[in-house]
Chains A and B, each alone.
Chain A
Amino acid sequence: MIEIKNLNKSFNTTSGTIVALSDINLTILDGEIFGIIGLSGAGKSTLVRCINLLESPTSGDVILDGRNLTELTRKELLETRQSIGMIFQGFNLLTQRNILQNVCYPLEIAGVKKQDAVRRAVELLELVGLSDRLKSYPSQLSGGQKQRVAIARALATKPKYLLCDEATSALDPNTTQSILDLLKEINRTMGVTIIIITHEMKVIDQICDRVAVIDNSRIAESGYVSDVFTNPQSQIARELILPKANSTESVVGERQLRIIFDGEASSKPVIANLVLECQVPVNIMFADTRDIEGKAYGQMILQLPDDIRQQERVLSYLKAKKITFSQEV
């Protein structure tokens, strides 16, 4: 379990003090995939670096399985870091070492005998599907392959935790998918707790159990992905999760409704029923629904005709059917 308590981090620069993190409190449970999402500059990269103390907090505690990392000696900290794997957006492989030597690196640092290190590295490279590229150098691999090597390297010392700092941000959608699948598999089969930093909704959506939304150096909200996604409370979460409809030209009328689907409702033909029962021609301006843990969630923006009576019919229909909606201007 990782507990982050009252964590603050500020940087002193020539142009004054910059607050990167402010009063962060988080608990990450064993075995879960925890996502931290925010826009660039929100402080999420600094937050993940505070977990393995690559950045030392200005104040506050990082408690890993009951041990307060901020109180460790340098030597203890270096040992603790071996139980926290980390992967990066830029992969950060040693360019002058081949793939096998890259995966052996953390084992060398941990003092594992060379023979055992090589055996373990080969095993891991097999797991990530690169057993035929052992002697290749990073420059000869694609981005997805490099990230696979980085994952194998991060897992070499059998860490309990894996930190992912924008690990898929430099990859194309297909490769992102395969890396996310691999991470999920590692979580399931090896029980590694994964902490993912990202600015991509999709990543959270696909593999995270819980999520924290970070904005302006603070945690804006956190909770189960399905809860936060269906009912975002904070402004920033709404912005990240509910994409704005690009509605400019009015086709039918001025009035717009945002309909929110919460799993149950989207399995029924809500809009078709609405149109049939109310006899009102609505215009679908925007629709985005997704499948989260077997249930469908999402939202749709409807444009209503100008006629007040028709609008009232639609609103009362939605109220009667208990469909969540909000009026957009």
Chain B
Amino acid sequence: MFSEMFQKLWDNGIIQAGIWETIYMTALSTLFSYGIGLPLGLVLSVTDKDGIHPMSGLNRALGIIVNIFRSIPFIILMIAMLPAAKFIVGTSLGNQAMIVTLVIAASPYVARMVESSIKEVDAGVIEAAQAMGTSSFKLVYKVLIPEAKPSLIIGSVISMVTILGYSAMAGTIGGGGLGQIAITYGYQRYNNDIIWICVILTILIVQVIQEVGTRIAHKTDKRIS
């Protein structure tokens, strides 16, 4: 059925390790990306000219930076950011270094996702909160974030899937995971079945993330009874 190569990889636990590496690289990168992207996205939406605290200069400056990072193809950005990885985690190889580059690449993307979720919050609800004397700061954490929560969760699922895709590319420059297995054992050694197995495993992981995320979002959304 499967090739000898697959048997060998499985027996040595390489496939299993690849699955695990993909999952934890994706999970950690998403987490850290939100650490940067969530506040960045909040600032972008709050300082927008239609936001609750317009600051056009800051908004434009951040917008340009985000756009620059978003317009560089990931594979190039990743290589360009290897020195940054070396500076932060002490190496430009391995999963830790890849997490750094993934976070740098994904944070601007996450910021835009967060920004669009926050902008979906009904202007009337914001106005009502302002009429009740809510300060801009409290408005963010008592109204904007809770009201946007279901949308933020959906956004994080989309971001996570995107980061998972990026992490596969990281396999080409020294990262681990299913992407690296597909390239090293599949593509470079002409074992097409390894490539397909990695693809199927990746699809399964994406399905699980999507399904679980959608359910959580649905469950937390009080608009649907």
Contacts and interface: CB of A to CB of B under 8 A. Distances in A.
A109 B132 contact: yes
A157 B124 CA distance: 20
B133 interface: yes
Nearest to A77: B133
Interface stretch (A58-66, A86-94, A184-192): A86-94
Contact of A78 (B134, B223, B225): B134
Contacts of A84: 131
Interface in B6-34: none
Contacts of A81: 130-133
B76 interface: no
Contacts of B65: none
A96 B127 contact: no
Interface string A88-104: 10101111111000000
A95 B125 contact: yes
B147 interface: yes
Interface in A69-91: 77-82, 84, 86, 88, 90
Given A92-B122, A94-B143, A137 B132 contact: no
A140 B225 contact: yes
A96 B225 CA distance: 11
B149 interface: yes
Contact of B147 (A54, A90, A95): A95
A239 B57 CA distance: 48
Contacts of B71: none
Interface residues of B, number: 25
A139 interface: yes
B128 interface: yes
A106 interface: yes
A251 interface: no
A95 B150 CA distance: 11
- Most chain B Cβ neighbours within 10 Å, of A52, A98, A109, A110: A109
Contact of B225 (A90, A97, A139, A163): A139
Contacts of B146: 94, 96-97
B138 A96 contact: no
A139 B133 contact: no
B44 to A, nearest CB: 22
A108 interface: yes
Nearest to B224: A139
A97 B149 CA distance: 12
B140 to A, nearest CB: 13
A34 interface: no
Contacts of A77: 133
B138 A109 contact: yes
A236 to B, nearest CB: 27
- Most chain A Cβ neighbours within 10 Å, of B127, B130, B133, B147: B133
Given A94-B143, A96-B222, A98-B222, A105 B149 contact: no
B135 interface: yes
Given A82-B132, A105-B132, A94 B147 contact: yes
B222 A90 contact: no
Nearest to B146: A96
B132 A106 contact: yes
A96 B147 contact: yes
B222 A95 contact: yes
Contacts of A150: 128
Interface of A: 52, 54, 77-82, 84, 86, 88, 90, 92-98, 105-106, 108-110, 137-140, 150, 153, 157, 163
Interface of B: 122, 124-125, 127-135, 138, 142-143, 146-147, 149-150, 220-225
29 contacts: A77-B133, A78-B133, A80-B133, A81-B130, A81-B131, A82-B132, A82-B133, A84-B131, A88-B127, A90-B122, A92-B122, A92-B124, A92-B127, A92-B128, A93-B125, A93-B128, A94-B143, A96-B149, A96-B150, A96-B220, A96-B223, A97-B222, A106-B133, A109-B132, A110-B133, A137-B222, A140-B225, A150-B128, A163-B131
Given A109-B134, A150-B128, 6 more contacts: A54-B131, A80-B133, A94-B129, A95-B222, A140-B225, A163-B131
For the complex of A and B, 8 pairs with smallest distance between CB atoms: A81-B133, A92-B128, A92-B124, A86-B131, A137-B222, A78-B133, A106-B132, A82-B133
